[in-house]
Amino acid sequence: MVDGARLKVPLEGIWAGSPEMLRVCEAAERVASTDASIMLLGESGTGKELLARAVHRLSAYSNGRFVAINCAAIPDSLLESELFGYEKGAFTDAGQRTRGKIELAHEGTLFLDEIGDLPLSLQAKLLRFLQERTIERVGGRTEIPVNTRILCATHRDLQGMISEASFRQDLYYRLSEITFTIPPLRDRSGEVLLLAKRFLDQYSAELARPLRGFSHQALAALEEYDWPGNVRELENRVRRAVILCDKMEITPQDLELSGAKIPEESFKLRHVRRLAEERAVRKALAYCEGNISRAASLLGVSRPSLYDLMRKLGVT
């Protein structure tokens, strides 16, 4: 853990304790009040939506709504009417005039989540809206002006999609006047343990399960793990552990992280030094093909000391 590192709340709803994450939050705070479109990139569970909501709250559009639409969760055939709305009778089931998400975000923020999943046909329509700032409902003829802040997010490689022509470059530029890449949890110095402790406090209070904390092995396992699901996964694992834990301390098994085999011993300096000594002695002996005098001189100790050391370490 970073020496003296503490968890902070740089933006409402966001906990951060690493310089990497604090930097992103500071930059987001700085641009929140501008009109610039912001593209949030990052792996699943890194906090893209949390950051988008925080930017909305700090923006000039905070009195309006934060309207989110997940482009990956809605079938392509419905996405157009979800985004743009429709007039009565525009298609078979169009019973009454319905406003789309873009219109609902008037004077507020439109958050286009999973923008990399927007089909090409709608990319063209969205681009038109971003250029004209007006929409036409499906089946409608009137141009409706919409004033909204645009934020979007994706875990996809948009540059790669642009080079294979599945994402429009002109749309990309409109959407990403500013881009933030939220680092994955594994790249945030010291943040895993800080967040884990904070989720532990939260859930042991919420679930009325007083606990002493994590065992040494659990702390080691938390640090060792790669966190593909990032903060969302960490939060879920800690929450589940608080529920499952039947002792005062959370173990790697409670976290379902038993894969990380780090004995408690490994933290003790005595143990670390012993391992380092053993490694050096074995290496020296191998290098000198078992010649004790030469190995001793390589290691900078006397022959009798090396014999003692070998006996102590169990090196034969």
Residue 46 binding target from Mg ion, ligand ATP, none, CB below 5 to 8 Å by type: ligand ATP
Strands 109-113 and 66-70: parallel
Q: Which of 8, 20, 23, 49 binds Mg ion (CB under 5 A)?
A: 49
**What string marks each residue from 153 to 182 as x (binds ligand ATP by CB under 6 A) or -?**
--x---------------------------
Binding to ligand ATP, residues 2-61 (CB under 6 A): 14-16, 42, 44-50
Residues 6+ apart with CB under 8 A from 268: none
184 interacts with ligand ATP by CB under 6 A: no
The residue among 101 and 137 lying less far from Mg ion, judged by its C-beta, is 101
Spatial distance between the Cα atoms of 22 and 9, rounded to a whole number of angstroms? 9
69 interacts with ligand ATP by CB under 6 A: no
Q: Tell me the closest approach of the beta carbon of residue 278 to ligand ATP, in angstroms.
A: 41
The residue among 214 and 227 lying less far from ligand ATP, judged by its C-beta, is 227
117 interacts with Mg ion by CB under 5 A: no
**Nearest CA among 260, 258, 256, 230 for reference residue 243:** 256
25-33, 48-56, 206-214, 275-283 -> range binding Mg ion (CB under 5 A) = 48-56
231 interacts with ligand ATP by CB under 6 A: yes
Report the length, in residues, of the chain: 316
43-51, 138-146, 237-245, 279-287 -> range binding Mg ion (CB under 5 A) = 43-51
Residue 47 binding target from Mg ion, ligand ATP, none, CB below 5 to 8 Å by type: ligand ATP
Query: Which is it for the CA torsion 266, 269, 270, 275, positive or negative?
Result: positive
Q: Which of 80, 82, 103, 235 binds ligand ATP (CB under 6 A)?
A: 235
Residue 214 binding target from ligand ATP, Mg ion, none, CB below 5 to 8 Å by type: none
201 interacts with Mg ion by CB under 5 A: no
The residue among 10 and 119 lying less far from ligand ATP, judged by its C-beta, is 10
Residue nearest to Mg ion (CB): 49
Q: Tell me the closest approach of the beta carbon of residue 9 to ligand ATP, in angstroms.
A: 8
233 interacts with Mg ion by CB under 5 A: no
Phi, psi of 18 (to 5 degrees): -105, 150
71 interacts with ligand ATP by CB under 6 A: no
Applying CB under 6 A, the residues found at the interface with ligand ATP are 14-16, 42, 44-50, 155, 231-232, 235
